[in-house]
Amino acid sequence: MKNTENKANLIIEEIKKNETDRKITLVLSESKAEKCSPSKVEEIRQVFNTNPRVKNLFKNSINNILKDVFSKNYYDKGKYGEGEMSGIYDLEQEGRSVINKLNTNYSCFCVLLRDVNKLLSSQKQQPISFNNLGIFEQINQVKRFVNIIDEYKTRIFNPESSTFQSLMMVLGQTHTWGQKREDTTIEILKRQFGDDNVKSVGKLGSSEDMIGGVDCEIIVDGILKTAQIKPFGHTNTNNGFTTIFESANVQPYRTNWLIFAKNNKEILIFDNKRCKILDGNFVFPEEDLIYTLR
């Protein structure tokens, strides 16, 4: 009698588990692929830029998760081809996949956060939030966040998952926009310094870009200058310092120059030797703005 009761309990537990799995699958797959609102993305951009530990924890966790989920597409440095960095290859296209950029993309962080919170809501659990939290509270939240992503990674990073479709849509768009911005900037730089004096260096996953942060090289008066190209929204100059607002992936770079492009209409070139990061923004001494190009 007891054995029969135990079997019945096991069957009930299995039914409950299957029903839970079905609900999770529905939450992660039934929505349409879509981006987050600009205001939500801006919130995450601010978190990334003001609390680098959040970005680094997310980056390292996502790297491990992607390596596990896409193990058949993962190659160590130099294994896919000479000069190729480690990462995911031959996924949505031949060669290096844009999914490798997910680890530092705050728009993708926003998509994952939105859909993870939908899942938590369906399970009557406390959602994850970074608003109005201190640095250490944000770190605790991102630890919980990446643990949940890891738990459901095979469902999230599945071609049938709307979350995955949203991520790939965002990554495709940001890569295209970034490449267009870089190409246009290179053309303007060539007009200023000469075609033979400007060379685009960084490609998707190149060691120069990933390790050195070098997008292009410029020869000025016979001297080679390395540069990173970034977007920006607006600037403010006060008390001898210029602050760059609405840039992306704000972090120290080792290049000679930092070049900021706005809507392909205005380019600001700063000497990078005295750059500081304050409140998640690049800040330069006013006199380190060496070129303004249009």
E strand or H helix at 9, and its extent? helix 2-29
Burial letters 253-281, b for 16+ CB under 10 A, else e: bebbbbbbbbeeeebbbbbbeebeeeebb
Digit-by-digit pLDDT tens for the chain (294 residues) are: 555 555 545 544 544 444 444 444 545 555 567 889 999 999 999 999 999 999 999 999 999 999 999 999 999 999 999 888 999 999 999 999 999 999 999 999 999 999 999 999 999 999 999 988 999 999 999 999 999 999 999 999 999 999 999 999 999 999 999 899 999 999 999 999 999 999 998 666 555 555 568 999 999 999 999 999 999 999 999 999 999 999 988 999 999 999 999 976 799 999 999 999 999 999 999 999 999 998
Region(s) of the chain under CATH 3.40.1350: 194-293
In 3D, which of 289, 259, 265, 284 has the Cα closest to residue 198?
Answer: 259
Which fold is adopted by the domain 194-293? Trna Endonuclease; Chain: A, domain 1 (3.40.1350)
At 74, the amino acid letter reads: Y
Cβ-contact 278, 243 below 8 angstroms: yes
| Pairs from 32-41 (Cβ < 8 Å, separation ≥ 24) | 32/162, 33/162, 33/165, 33/166, 33/169, 34/166, 35/107, 35/111, 35/166, 35/169, 35/170, 36/107, 36/110, 36/111, 36/114, 40/110, 40/114, 41/106, 41/107, 41/110
Chain centroid to Cα 196, Å, comes to 32
- Identify any residues that bridge with 130 across adjacent strands, giving them in sequence order: none
